[in-house]
Copies of this chain bind each other. A is one copy, B any other.
Amino acid sequence: MGDPGASVGAVAPLVRAGPQDLTFCDTPKYASLFASSQAGLALVTPQLAEMPGPAARIVVDRPRDALLAVLPCLYRSPARVPGIDPTARIGRSVTLPGDATVEAYAVIGDGARVGERAWIGAHAVVGAGVVLGDDVRLHPGVTLYSGTRVGHRVTVHAGTRLGSDGFGYVFRDGAHEKIPHVGRCIVEDDVEIGANTTIDRGSIDDTVIGAGTKIDNLVHIAHNVRIGRLCLLMAQVGIAGSARLEDGCILAGQVGMAGHRTVGAGARVGGQGGVFGDIPPGETWSGYPARPHKEALRAHAAMFKLPQLIRTLEQMVRERQDAADTEARGRSDAEEHGTGGGTA
């Protein structure tokens, strides 16, 4: 509909879209916003096709999805300018391809190996001996401790720390003595890690994040944890030492997982779930302590009915116990007096 030659260069929500912007509207709730929108082009649902508003419009069943689908055409990754900033501090024996980008004040330690087209943000610190694959992007202020290995096409957001020492101490002679951490922190290909997340190195074994896994902000992953391929870990998830996630797991926000447990392939855990046992593959669990989701829902529903019943239930239990006591006393009296069982 509208001008078949309409062209847009960006995407914007209804209220701030201009003549060069593509927008969308998928609910009559926003009809008035739509009516006054300056958008150059709009994606709308069939029901809204005739609504007053921007003339140039495309009718699709799910405008939001359609818009997400065209986003990659309109937005390329931000332009990367190859080159090593003169303030970047590069250690001895560092492998650093000519097409890499190293921004201001980044520090790369001795012996580190940086892949092709890597992009190392301002103030990032790449520890001695760290290995980075091709097309890695470290946003500003990332710290990679020595012992970290990062695969190809990995993105790490600002302030994330990889390869820090795990939390391991032995109490001896009145002090918590630190266990040295000599394992590695390995991040496989195509992983993306959010901002201010922390992933510890292994103690002896390695901590491993499997290929294609995506990790959100403020997540904690402890030493020796093994995360499979294509997992999703949402914000503020915490995983204790030596736990294991098989491939394709999804942990919702703030989930906590105890050490040495396993979440099976494709399993999911609902927000704030507390995982203290193993979870079988493919299942959805939730709650504290985590249980199969339906079971948890039923338990919570029952728990919230309990207050109306509890006094009467207590009374019923008390009466029953009183009755049992009375009966028991009666029996015991009978026994004492030789009237039990007719054994005269």
| Total count of chain A residues near the partner, CB < 8 A | 105
Question: A182 contacts which of B71, B165, B258 (Cβ < 8 Å)?
Answer: B71
Within 8 A of B (CB), among A152-166: 157-159, 161, 164-165
Evaluate contact between A291 and B304: CB separation under 8 angstroms. yes
Evaluate contact between A175 and B309: CB separation under 8 angstroms. no
Interface membership of A302, Cβ < 8 A:
yes
Q: What residue of chain B has the Cβ atom nearest to residue A123's Cβ? A: B123
Evaluate contact between A312 and B302: CB separation under 8 angstroms. no
Most B C-beta atoms less than 10 A away, residue of A105, A178, A183, A214? A105
How far is A196 from B320 in the complex, measured between Cα atoms in Å?
57
Interface membership of A264, Cβ < 8 A:
no
Copies of the chain in the assembly: 3
| Complex interface bits, A262-273 against B, C-beta within 8 A gives 1, otherwise 0 | 000000000110
Evaluate contact between A220 and B204: CB separation under 8 angstroms. no
Interface membership of A212, Cβ < 8 A:
yes
User: A222-B235, A271-B256 are known contacts. Are A176 and B307 too (CB-CB below 8 A)?
Assistant: no
Interface membership of A33, Cβ < 8 A:
no
Within 8 A of B (CB), among A198-250: 198, 200, 203-206, 212, 214, 216-218, 220, 222, 230, 232, 234-236, 238, 240
Interface membership of A133, Cβ < 8 A:
no
How far is A285 from B238 in the complex, measured between Cα atoms in Å?
20
Evaluate contact between B183 and A13: CB separation under 8 angstroms. yes
Evaluate contact between B123 and A141: CB separation under 8 angstroms. yes
How far is A308 from B301 in the complex, measured between Cα atoms in Å?
12
A253 to chain B, nearest CB (A): 5
Interface membership of A45, Cβ < 8 A:
no
How far is A240 from B252 in the complex, measured between Cα atoms in Å?
10
User: A122-B125, A256-B271 are known contacts. Are A312 and B305 too (CB-CB below 8 A)?
Assistant: no
Question: A230 contacts which of B104, B140, B175 (Cβ < 8 Å)?
Answer: B175
| Complex interface bits, A281-314 against B, C-beta within 8 A gives 1, otherwise 0 | 0000001110100010011111111111110111
A12 to chain B, nearest CB (A): 7
Closest 4 CB pairs of A and B: A298-B307, A302-B306, A143-B158, A198-B217
Residues of A within 8 A of B (CB): 10-13, 24, 64, 67-68, 71-72, 74-75, 78, 87, 89, 103-105, 107, 121-123, 125, 139-141, 143, 145-146, 157-159, 161, 164-165, 167, 169-170, 174-176, 178-180, 182-183, 190, 192, 194-198, 200, 203-206, 212, 214, 216-218, 220, 222, 230, 232, 234-236, 238, 240, 253-254, 256, 258, 271-272, 274, 276, 287-289, 291, 295, 298-310, 312-314, 316-317, 320-321
Given contacts A13-B206, A198-B218, A309-B314, 7 further A-B contacts (CB under 8 A): A13-B183, A107-B123, A123-B123, A164-B194, A169-B214, A299-B306, A312-B320
